[in-house]
């Protein structure tokens, strides 16, 4: 059996670690897919613009922790999900077949929903935004 988990944030990584520990001696394969190689502790992004923390200090590589509990980590961007075929399609053409799928890909803020928000405000919503705010 294969469980595929999308997203290497709090949701996806926690799910992967818990399932990885529980299924360690079974034939179940846990595959964690995320488009970034590092887990970022997002609450600490608030410190990045002020130079109180660097991104490297508030993040760690997912593959090292994944190895410890026998999870397969794949760094790829997911392009679509085909539920009827139980397949995840990645941007580079890779296809992952699953028995169970956990989607923990987070949220995408709609900056344009409120007029004037985009371009006129600073943010620490994600790593990219926090680094931009620093400049």
Ligand X SMILES: Cc1cc2nc3c(=O)[nH]c(=O)nc-3n(C[C@H](O)[C@H](O)[C@H](O)COP(=O)(O)OP(=O)(O)OC[C@H]3O[C@@H](n4cnc5c(N)ncnc54)[C@H](O)[C@@H]3O)c2cc1C
Does residue 19 belong to the site contacting ligand X (CB under 6 A)?
no
Question: At 41, phi and psi to the nearest 5?
Answer: -80, 90
Nearest approach, Cβ of 78 to ligand X (angstroms)?
A: 4
Burial of 32 (0-12, 13-18, 19+ CB in 10 A): buried
Whether 98 and 83 have beta carbons less than 8 Å apart is answered as no
Nearest approach, Cβ of 30 to ligand X (angstroms)?
A: 16
Does residue 55 belong to the site contacting ligand X (CB under 6 A)?
no
**130 is written with which tokens?**
């926090």
Does residue 47 belong to the site contacting ligand X (CB under 6 A)?
no
Does residue 105 belong to the site contacting ligand X (CB under 6 A)?
yes
Taking the least distance from each CB to ligand X, the nearer of 69 and 103 is 103
Does residue 133 belong to the site contacting ligand X (CB under 6 A)?
no
Q: CA torsion, points 66, 94, 126, 62, in degrees to nearest 10?
A: 10
What is the binding site for ligand X (CB under 6 A)?
6-12, 33-36, 42-43, 45-46, 77-78, 104-106, 124-125
């Amino acid at each position: 059996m294969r469980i595929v988990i999308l997203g290497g944030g709090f949701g996806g990584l926690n799910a992967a670690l818990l399932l990885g520990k529980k299924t360690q001696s079974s034939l179940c394969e846990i595959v964690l897919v995320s488009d970034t190689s590092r887990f970022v502790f997002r609450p600490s992004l608030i410190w990045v613009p002020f130079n109180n923390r660097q991104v490297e200090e508030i993040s760690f590589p997912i593959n090292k922790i994944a190895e410890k509990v026998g999870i397969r980590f794949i760094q790829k961007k997911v392009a679509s999900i085909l539920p009827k075929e139980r397949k995840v399609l990645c941007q580079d053409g890779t296809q992952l077949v699953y028995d169970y799928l956990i989607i923990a890909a987070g949220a995408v803020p709609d900056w344009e929903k409120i007029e004037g928000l985009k371009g006129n405000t600073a943010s620490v919503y994600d790593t990219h935004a926090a680094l931009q705010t620093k400049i």
